[in-house]
Amino acid sequence: MEPAIEIRNLSKEYVIASSKGYYQAGGRLGEKLASVVRHPLRTVQHVRQPKETFWALRDINYTMQKGESVGIIGRNGAGKSTLLKILSQITCPTEGEVVLRGTVGSLLEVGTGFHPDLTGRENIFLNGAILGMHKKQIEARFDEIVKFAEVEKFLDTPIKRFSSGMYLRLAFAVAAHLEPDILIADEVLAIGDQQFQAKCLGKMREVSQEGRTVIFVSHNMHAVKTLCQNAILLQGGRMLKSGPSEEVISEYASSLEGHNGNFPVTTKDITIWDMDVRQGGVGTMLIDGGRPFDIHVRFQLHERMQHLRMGIFVNNSLGDELIRTLFSDWDTSLEDLGPGTYLASLTFPGKLLVPGNYTLVLGAHRQGGFDMLVGHRVEAGINVSAPNDFNSGGGADPLQAQVILDRRWDVRRE
3-state helix, strand, coil in the chain (%, to 5): 25, 35, 40
Instruction: Please indicate, yes or no, whether residues 122 and 247 belong to a single structural domain of this protein.
Output: yes
Does some domain include residue 43?
Answer: no
Does some domain include residue 97?
Answer: yes
Distance of CA 273 to the CA centre of its chain: 28
Does some domain include residue 413?
Answer: no
The residues, any chain, with a CB within 8 Å of residue 33's CB and separated by 6 or more, are none
Among 252, 280, 302, the domain boundary falls at: 252
Instruction: Please indicate, yes or no, whether residues 94 and 66 belong to a single structural domain of this protein.
Output: yes
Instruction: Please indicate, yes or no, whether residues 326 and 198 belong to a single structural domain of this protein.
Output: no
Instruction: Please indicate, yes or no, whether residues 294 and 240 belong to a single structural domain of this protein.
Output: no
**Residue 297 phi, psi dihedral angles, 5° rounding:** -125, 120
Instruction: Please indicate, yes or no, whether residues 289 and 244 belong to a single structural domain of this protein.
Output: no
Instruction: Please indicate, yes or no, whether residues 264 and 236 belong to a single structural domain of this protein.
Output: no
Helix 120-130, helix 164-177: angle, nearest 10: 40
Does some domain include residue 23?
Answer: no
CATH number of the domain enclosing 301? 2.70.50.60
Which residues of the chain fall short of a pLDDT of 50?
A: 19-29, 31-33, 44, 258-260, 395-398
Give the integer Cα–Cα distance in Å for 367 and 370: 7
User: DSSP class of residue 221?
Assistant: H
Rg of the Cα atoms in the chain: 27
Instruction: Please indicate, yes or no, whether residues 268 and 377 belong to a single structural domain of this protein.
Output: yes
Host domain of residue 331: 260-384
Q: Mind giving me the DSSP string for 13-82?
A: EEEEE-TT-EE-TTS-HHHHHHHHHH-TTSPPPPEEPPPEEEEEEEEEEEEE-TT-EEEEE-STTSSHHH
Instruction: Please indicate, yes or no, whether residues 108 and 206 belong to a single structural domain of this protein.
Output: yes
CB 208 within 8 Å of CB 201: no
pLDDT score at 169:
79
Burial class (CB in 10 A: 0-12, 13-18, 19+), 188: buried
Summarised one tens digit per residue, pLDDT across range 53-62 is 889 999 999 9
CATH number of the domain enclosing 203? 3.40.50.300
pLDDT score at 238:
93
pLDDT score at 111:
56
Instruction: Please indicate, yes or no, whether residues 209 and 308 belong to a single structural domain of this protein.
Output: no
Give the integer Cα–Cα distance in Å for 400 and 243: 33
Instruction: Please indicate, yes or no, whether residues 154 and 197 belong to a single structural domain of this protein.
Output: yes
Instruction: Please indicate, yes or no, whether residues 238 and 327 belong to a single structural domain of this protein.
Output: no
Among 235, 252, 269, the domain boundary falls at: 252
pLDDT score at 26:
43
Q: Which H helix or E strand runs over 148?
A: helix 135-149
**Domains: count for the chain:** 2
Nearest CA among 124, 206, 138, 194 for reference residue 165: 194
pLDDT score at 58:
93
pLDDT score at 302:
93
Instruction: Please indicate, yes or no, whether residues 146 and 277 belong to a single structural domain of this protein.
Output: no
Does some domain include residue 102?
Answer: yes
Give the integer Cα–Cα distance in Å for 104 and 351: 39
The residues, any chain, with a CB within 8 Å of residue 307's CB and separated by 6 or more, are 335, 336, 366, 367, 368
pLDDT score at 195:
66
Nearest CA among 102, 113, 80 for reference residue 186: 80
Does some domain include residue 7?
Answer: no
Give the integer Cα–Cα distance in Å for 222 and 209: 18
Among 218, 252, 286, the domain boundary falls at: 252
CB 203 within 8 Å of CB 214: no
Number of H helices and E strands in the chain, helices first, is 8, 22
Full-model pTM: 0.65
Nearest CA among 173, 170, 192 for reference residue 119: 170
Q: Which H helix or E strand runs over 214?
A: strand 213-217
Burial class (CB in 10 A: 0-12, 13-18, 19+), 134: exposed
